[in-house]
Amino acid sequence: MLRIIKCALVAIIGLHALFYALQNVANLEAAHGSLVYVMSGADQAAYPETLFFKSDNPALAWLALAIVLIGEFATAFFGLKGGWQMLAARKNDVAEFHAAKRAAAIAAGFALLTWFGLFMTFGAAFFQMWQTPVGDGSMKGSFIYAMASVVTVLFVYHTPDD
């Protein structure tokens, strides 16, 4: 039963990322607009200055959105692949089941790169997106998504598979 739960949890990482990626695609203009808004530093009263740069360049925001989508789709792909590979190996010995977890770890890595690296490091720290309601919601959500993925994979990797 524990192996099946682990398979399902990894697949949920994939589904979670897939749903967000598809919602971003369905709302592409709004997602782009949010990035332009955050990257421009508009309405940032608490810390209006930066040592870095602000930009309202639409092309830079499209590039950022493309990177976000690549991260979300990669997380989705490896999460679903990992869940499937683990499910296929669920009746195998401990070593083979553990080896089937590789894609799950890659999914968690992409989740961290996307939601911690892009949203929390670049969005929140570099572009100070926490200062606006739109940015703050994205920042808080990204923390939840990244940590849920990592905690899941830690559980999957570090609880016994016997």
What are the percentages of helix, strand and coil residues in the chain, rounded to 5?
80, 0, 20
Are 83 and 11 in contact by the 8 Å Cβ rule? The answer is yes
Residue 159's pLDDT is what?
86
**pLDDT above 80 (res 162):** no
The DSSP element (H or E) to which 40 belongs, if any, is helix 28-40
What digits encode the pLDDT tens for the residues 111-147? 999 999 999 999 999 999 999 998 999 999 999 999 9
pTM higher than 0.85, yes or no? yes
Does residue 99 surpass a pLDDT of 80? yes
